[in-house]
């Protein structure tokens, strides 16, 4: 399996293992997600996990995002806004 050289050793190992196991990979790094997709590995990010938990009533997505923004994780404002919009639409139906 050919993975981009700019990926870290850990990201390469994670993508390779997920491909080998046929598993979904939890990864937020854009390059890593693109590399995983290129080799047929399904990925989900932190926001995706939080959205799924919110959809099941396990947490409040706005509150979880507020706490997430206080950490060192970097996700664009656009990603946060889109997640909140999807959450609001889910709750409206």
The 10s digit of each residue's pLDDT in 44-75 is: 999 999 999 999 999 999 999 999 999 999 88
In angstroms, what CA-CA distances link 34 with 64, 77, 84? 26, 20, 23
Question: pLDDT tens digits, residue range 35-44?
Answer: 999 999 999 9
Residues for the chain: how many in total?
A: 93
Domain ranges of the chain: 9-44, 46-92
Q: Comparing C-alpha atoms, which of 15, 92, 79, 70 is closest to residue 51?
A: 79
Residue 24: is its pLDDT beyond 90? yes
| Structure confidence at residue 16 (pLDDT) | 95
Of 5-9, 22-26, 63-67, 81-85, where does mean pLDDT reach its minimum? 5-9
């Amino acid at each position: 399996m050919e993975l981009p050289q700019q990926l870290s050793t850990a990201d390469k190992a994670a993508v390779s293992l997920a491909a080998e196991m046929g598993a979904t990979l939890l990864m937020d790094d854009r390059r890593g997600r693109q590399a995983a997709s290129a080799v047929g590995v399904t990925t989900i990010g932190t926001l995706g996990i939080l959205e799924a938990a919110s959809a099941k009533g396990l947490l409040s997505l706005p509150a979880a995002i507020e706490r997430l923004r206080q950490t060192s994780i970097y996700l664009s404002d656009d990603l946060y806004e889109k997640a909140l919009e999807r959450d609001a639409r889910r709750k409206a139906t």
